[in-house]
Chain A
Amino acid sequence: MMDPLDRHTPLSPQLAIRVATIGGVALILFAIILFRLWYLQVLSGPQYVQLANVNRVRDIPIQAPRGDIVDRAGKPIVSSRQAVAVQITQSQLPKTKAGRADLYTRLGAVIGMKPSAIRTIMHSKVNVPYANVTIKVDAGEAALVTLKENQDQFPSVAVTPVSVRAYPDRELAAQVLGSVGSISPGELKLARFKGVPNNGVVGQAGVEWQYDQFLRGTDGIQRVQVNSAGLPSGKPPHTTLPTAGHELKLSLDLNLEKEGYKALQAGMGLAQSNGTAGNAGAFVALDPRNGQVLAMGSLPSYNPTVYTHPLTPAEQAQLVSADAPLLNRAIDGAYPTGSTFKMITAMTALQDGLRSADAPFVDTGCIKVGRTQQKFCNARNEVLGSLNMTTAIQKSSDLYFFTLGEQANPQGPLIQHWARQFGFGAPTGIDLPGEYAGVIPDASWLARVEAQQVTCLKKYGKRGPSICGYISDPTRTWVTGNNMNFAVGQGDFLATPLQLAVAYSALFADGRVPTPHLGLEIDDNVGRLIQKIDPPAQRTIKFDSANQQVIEDGLHAAAQSPGGTSYDVFGNFPRTVYGKTGTAQHGAQDDQAWYVAYAPDPKRPIVIALTIEKGGFGDQSAAPAVRLMLSQWFGITKKLVAGSSKTL
């Protein structure tokens, strides 16, 4: 070019064309590459910078210590302890089946687990993709040392410090407290768990679920720069420290709670010695003024410690067995409450003018009702003779209340209205998940469920009865007898022990229906108050205080006047007690025992509702248990006094 000699070089036209072709191809290719580079580096550059950062940064969460749960006096009920978990990092699992099997075998040998058990845990549907899966907690010092020293042989196994729940009182209040566990894929989508990392630990039931946002704290993050092999390299890690969860103070009184379990056990023992099964039960103690739950329990129970490690098949089987130890019977037990319900029927009679307090009534033991002349009787056809409202409650006359149900029926759902006013048939709004609403039966309710049942049976054909929850004859209609049974807390009526406690609280608190609650305070970890929990009353029922007095007199007489249904249990009790027995019938099964009591006190009034499934008569097993709890509450020497009254 610059060289003048070059110009004289002969070049055939054919060669010139071919060289130009090659040059043209080169030009086009350079243009393509440059445009591509421009697109990648200038147009999409920021996006690739982000990708490069995602590549190199790994966030390792540091679990925040979960807040403690304490009773109303600050005594610990649930605390946390540091433990070491052996986890498998899913993203680094061997890709081949044989490789995984080999890992499970070798790891199993170190931590003392069957390879199949590890595989089962790894295949569990509750594992969140990409999160570490906990295989074992508290694997033992020797195993941890082996794993740490041979990290190269277990590249996918991590030994991670974790904070696990400790339950000093083991099975105490297990269903109330609930459990914690790794967040599941479904829970990750819930608004209440917003911000929880995908290997986070959250409350799964009970107050742990309800107050999770306060208890769980904020996990810290260790941001590590890693190389392509996933190993930390280069820059020192940047650590954001975790924030510990808040402390939750419950309204529970730990001593009363413990005594409640003992008392319920004692009551169940009494029932069993009377020849009934008496294998399950529940209790609730409320402060009637404000709805604070002073004690709540349910048996059979379980030890929530099982949830600190992956469940073994035996533990799993026990938790889902027919005993239903996970069921909080105090809020989820769907029961007829028997004669304890008569308070509502009495209030209806007085308020709606069905029968005045002193209207004479003669109890003849049995009556016959309707065209079919269906017979309604007292327990053991006992004849109670001349009664008024107070003595009818005191002696728990069924005939007195049957006839009220009969009288009310033509006038519409009168008793149903008052039952609703007192909180039956709807959740009480307690701060626990999954509360049962209950059933208040009336003509329209029956028509509705029967229609649903007919549709369901039609849909499923022969399999219908097992799927549709077959109740009874799907063609029955509401008759007077239904209302009569309802009037004594039987029939289709269903309620929870908690609803019963709330209803009695409302009576003794002059109509204020409290919102029951377990949470009392949220405190930070040095004890400063973050939030007080004091929900307002649900509503205030308007009733005549004279009518209230009549019913209260009846309840007091039932407990502490001779002839009262639980007089043999509370007659010599050194404090004023208002109490009502209940004996709910379940067809051919053993009866269910109930007792509900109110003990006035200027500083610490209390309402207790207690039930024992298959516990026989209320006075025989339930009332003695309540006496033990009241003794504990007021510091009276405890004495197990078995009743003998066989009224319903």
Chain B
Amino acid sequence: MNTTPIQAGEMPAIASPRSLTLPFDPLLMVAALGLAICSLITLNGATRGLIHGQPHYYTERQAIYFGVGLGLMVALARIDYSRLRELKYGFYAILIGTILLVLVLGRAARGSVRAISLPFFSFQASELGKILLIVFLASVVVDRSRRLSQRETTARVMLLAMGPAMLVIAQPDLGSGMVYVVAALAILFVAGTSWKHFAGLITLGIVALAMILLAAPAAGVNVLKPYQVDRLTAFLNPTSNPAKQGYQQIQSKIAIGSGQKTGRGNDATQTKLNFLPEYQTDFVFAVVGEQYGFVGAALVLSLYALMIWRTLRILTIAKNLFGALIAGGIVAMLMFQVFVNVGMTVGIMPITGVTLPLLSYGGSSVLTTFLALGLLQSIYVQARTSAALKGRVLRF
């Protein structure tokens, strides 16, 4: 895309009749800010007693993350995302590099390590990896856009996604690994990969799943850690093991159910008395459900609906395939995280450790989501600019 020949001096003349337009998509912004405010209100109500003497610890930190995230988003919106294609191998290298670093650190610490500790906060490599992978895969698909009908393209994209996904699952972070795979599938889907290829992938997936869950353990090889299998299967029958994996799900359902129509407010004992584990991160939706009831939960869901709708809209107006593919990857990431996380809290999905975008407490998740939103805004801004230019060209 060559935009340089346009005479800059004439731009204000075009822009002036539409002086009301903003340098970003206002509705996507409304959804993001609305969710951020919901997150702060929820955390403020729920986490007062978590750290003794620091009632606003979580709220303050989350607010800082939002501030930084908004800055990142606005900055990213001003960049033409198309130029990121040039950096694709760099992105992939960073993606693999940070994940491997975490794995090595994890080995050294003899346990589960998902984050790299930085001076200010610990950075979760797999979260940022979502964005890096989406941009990288979109670039790869764009490069091969004339060979989309070849099976090799599909296989290559999937393999490029499976690599980091497996590494992340080994961390162990099953949720992020699944996001990688889903994003890759979405990018292929938006690019127009043949349905036959998807049918093949689904078959392969089912076979692989059967191998991992049934055949491999029988042969003595455990691909998934036992607790991951327990988590994945516990939701089918939570009461069979109420002390362990089923516990979180039962407590989460009790929290949400007891919120009834309008919530329990200060009587939200499931949260306040700590019956709900990890409620400020993975189970934050249960806190919303308990404190603000069906009304609050529905409000949050409608903000997500707004966000997903805008993302799909941005996908359709993108000025080029690269933008559409990035938006496709991001919409898959958002949908997957929202439905798996909320589904987990209401007891219809397994516990996979996926955060709820913007609502869950945590810097990595918040910043990653804002980066994704920044990319979307950039696609939006670029689409409008290019359409305006085209419009002017037509007029001439």
Contact = CB atoms under 8 A, between A and B. Distances in A.
Interface of A: 1, 3, 5-6, 8-9, 11, 14-16, 18-19, 21-23, 25-26, 29-30, 32-34, 36-38, 40-42, 44-49, 51-53, 55-56, 225-229, 233-234
B260 A46 contact: yes
Contact of A9 (B257, B346, B383): B383
B381 to A, nearest CB: 12
Given A48-B253, A55-B270, 17 more contacts: A5-B387, A8-B390, A14-B192, A22-B332, A25-B335, A32-B343, A34-B301, A36-B348, A37-B256, A37-B298, A41-B256, A41-B261, A41-B294, A45-B258, A45-B259, A51-B254, A233-B273
Interface stretch (B57-65, B207-215, B308-316, B362-370): B308-316
Q: Tell which of B21, B189, B273 has the most Cβ of chain A within 10 Å.
A: B273
A590 B274 CA distance: 73
A42 B294 contact: yes
B78 interface: no
B305 interface: yes
B56 interface: no
A227 B273 contact: yes
25 contacts: A5-B384, A6-B387, A15-B192, A18-B190, A18-B192, A19-B190, A21-B189, A22-B190, A22-B312, A22-B328, A22-B332, A33-B343, A37-B294, A40-B346, A41-B257, A41-B259, A41-B260, A41-B289, A41-B293, A41-B297, A45-B257, A52-B270, A55-B251, A225-B273, A229-B274
A329 to B, nearest CB: 52
Contacts of B289: 37, 40-41
B45 to A, nearest CB: 15
B121 to A, nearest CB: 27
B304 to A, nearest CB: 8
Given A37-B289, A55-B275, A234-B273, A26 B256 contact: no
Interface in B154-208: 186, 189-190, 192
Contacts, number: 141
Contacts of A1: 313
Contacts of B254: 48, 51-52, 55
Which one of A6, A8, A15, A37 has the greatest number of beta carbons of chain B within 10 Å? A37
Interface of B: 21, 186, 189-190, 192, 251, 253-261, 264, 269-270, 272-275, 277, 289, 293-294, 297-298, 301, 305, 308-309, 312-313, 315-317, 324, 328, 331-332, 335, 339, 342-343, 346-348, 383-384, 387-388, 390-391
A161 to B, nearest CB: 27
Contact of A228 (B273, B309, B315): B273
A8 to B, nearest CB: 6
A3 B316 contact: no
Nearest to B289: A41
B335 to A, nearest CB: 6
A226 to B, nearest CB: 7
Contacts of B388: 5
Nearest to B335: A26
B21 A23 contact: no
B256 A48 contact: yes
B348 A32 contact: yes
B362 to A, nearest CB: 22
A51 B346 contact: no
A42 B272 contact: no
Contact of A49 (B189, B258, B273, B305): B258
Nearest to A14: B192
B244 to A, nearest CB: 11
B257 A38 contact: no
Given A36-B346, A56-B269, A23 B301 contact: no
A407 to B, nearest CB: 78
Nearest to A227: B273
Given A41-B256, A45-B258, A234-B273, A18 B346 contact: no
Nearest to A8: B387
Contacts of B264: 49
A593 to B, nearest CB: 65
A46 B259 CA distance: 9
Contacts of B256: 37, 40-41, 48
B221 to A, nearest CB: 28
A56 B251 CA distance: 12
Contacts of B189: 18, 21-22
Contact of A30 (B257, B269, B301, B317): B301
Contacts of A234: 269, 272-273
Contacts of B335: 22, 25-26, 29
Contacts of B384: 3, 5
A479 to B, nearest CB: 70
A228 B257 contact: no
B372 to A, nearest CB: 16
Given A3-B384, A228-B274, A19 B315 contact: yes
Contacts of B277: 228
A42 B289 CA distance: 11
A9 B269 contact: no
A46 B253 CA distance: 13
B301 A33 contact: yes
Nearest to B257: A48
Contacts of A11: 316
